[in-house]
Chains A and B, each alone.
Chain A
């Protein structure tokens, strides 16, 4: 087990470092097509995919990893769709997030909740009872829906997920 962990740690490390350099940020003309399509750029002044790619191109990744901006992308993919140099700020941001998590920088706590949910139930959360429009509570079985069965061997599954996430945390 320890060996495969090490292999995984190295794999993730290499994958992430290659990923950013493979994304052509240096080719960016700074034209602004990505930022003008971005719904978040419209609203938040600190978020601008064009500037982010500009920083990556100049090797200023560390600045981005420490900041809040990379966590504010809404994954709409318009930047990737529109960029005429085939650069994807969305993909760059995703890798930067992984790198920031790895480096131990701040990130929204909601992601911890997601991981916890998946480890405990196999999903982000277990089925709940939901309040209808009339105020009454409704469950899956109230609507005649089948029970949700997650991974058959939850302990095994939990261990695997835990292992992968932890491997991504180590340097």
Chain B
């Protein structure tokens, strides 16, 4: 049988790849960034069980790398697709790491010695990385990569310290972009999501006030592998944040700035993050400002009930009007109406977390064009029929799963990934 292509190496893509590979099918797993793992690798804990996220994901990531049926292509993107179900000709473009993958041992010495600091996007900008770097400690593959846009050698022709210190001689500045031609029977699209940028909602002060964070930034801050080792030291002055406010529906449920849809998982992840704070410090004060509580999943209502009664997380029904910062103390004030009581008042906090909407990745556009798929008005992939064929697309042999077609949580993404894998496997067998 021909192989199957899985586009996107997040938890959905990983699940689909493993399902297919375990069935005996060959899989090409194409991932844009230097490592598979996606957003789930960045999270601290998962809900409602509060398991360590990377601890659950990493074994699957390793399984992908060791599975004889799976070939992982990182720093790769699908550029062109021709043909149809049972016979897709795919051109994949692989960006050079400038590091020989078979020689690199992931020791990290290159990174230590590199003189150039760059904003670490994986740490959501809360820390720096080097121009040569390994994406995160559990990266798969555990291979360094050079960011040519910031590397002194590629920009100015100087330095080359990494090649001098690498004990395996793995640095290869001459690496070129590589075109990989694949012929596959079916395709699973699992490109995931990105976080809405709340800068345009200026009333919340994101960008102006350093201690107003997005949810992803918070996840990195509270995570033990984060910039502060998991301690809630706020970015502006390092003060330990004991009073934290969560603002829900940032960038969602909005016809002006943001998106009109509900982002589905934010109520739950805010609850999870609130519980995390309380676990770190039971004396902390945590308030969640919400419009509605979306507790649609199994165990969700109970999780919220526990957060309230056992942990003491306070839920206030009211979308805050604004966040203000005291210029002297840097403490934040949230103005809100408690719509249950009608009180218009304010609350002080050391840190504010904006629970931002999951939005479509901009790469979807290019990919949709290459595949010949339709995107909805917000850039998400469109299913054939949202009710009866939610993971099929308009194209036979191409399936979507996970956040590539809208906001959803990990269990849903994983279930859909298995569904997409089954559909893709069926196509592979049909065209044997």
The answer to A–B direct touch (Cβ < 8 A) is yes
A42 located at the interface, meaning its Cβ lies under 8 Å from any Cβ of chain B in the complex: yes
Residue of A nearest to B318 (CB): A32
Q: A41-B337, A82-B321 are in contact. Are A35 and B344 (CB under 8 A)?
A: yes
Instruction: Report whether A32 and B337 are in contact in the complex, using a CB–CB cutoff of 8 Å.
Output: yes
In the complex, the answer to whether B258 meets A84 with C-beta atoms within 8 Å is yes
B321 and A85 within 8 A (CB) = no
B38 interface contact, C-beta 8 A: no
Say whether A36 contacts B255, CB under 8 Å: no
Residues A36 and B256 in contact in the complex (CB < 8 Å), given A30-B339, A50-B339, A51-B342: no
CB within 8 Å of A: which B328-368 residues? 335-339, 342, 344-345
For the complex, what is the distance from the CA of A32 to the CA of B253, rounded to whole Å?
13
A33 within 8 A of B: yes
- A84 pairs with B321, CB closer than 8 A: no
Contact yes or no, A48 B337, CB < 8 A: yes
Residues B258 and A36 in contact, CB atoms below 8 Å apart? no
Measured between alpha carbons, how far is A51 from B337 in the docked complex, in Å? 11
Chain A residue contacts of B338, Cβ below 8 A: 32
Contact A37 B322 (CB under 8 A): yes
Q: Pick the residue among B203, B319, B335 that contacts A31 (CB under 8 A).
A: B319
A32/B257 contact (C-beta < 8 A), A37-B322, A38-B344, A48-B344 known: no
Q: Which residues in A have their C-beta under 8 angstroms from that of B344? A: 35-36, 38, 41-42, 48
Known: A31-B291, A36-B336, A84-B254. 13 other contacts (CB 8 A): A30-B339, A31-B339, A32-B318, A32-B339, A33-B319, A34-B321, A41-B337, A41-B344, A42-B345, A84-B255, A84-B256, A85-B255, A85-B256
Interface of B with A (CB < 8 Å)? 203, 249, 253-258, 291, 317-322, 335-339, 342, 344-345
- In the complex, 21 of the A-B residue pairs with CB atoms within 8 angstroms, ordered by the A residue number, are A27-B255, A29-B253, A31-B291, A31-B318, A32-B318, A33-B319, A33-B321, A35-B337, A35-B344, A36-B318, A36-B321, A36-B336, A37-B203, A37-B322, A42-B344, A82-B203, A82-B322, A83-B256, A84-B256, A84-B258, A85-B255
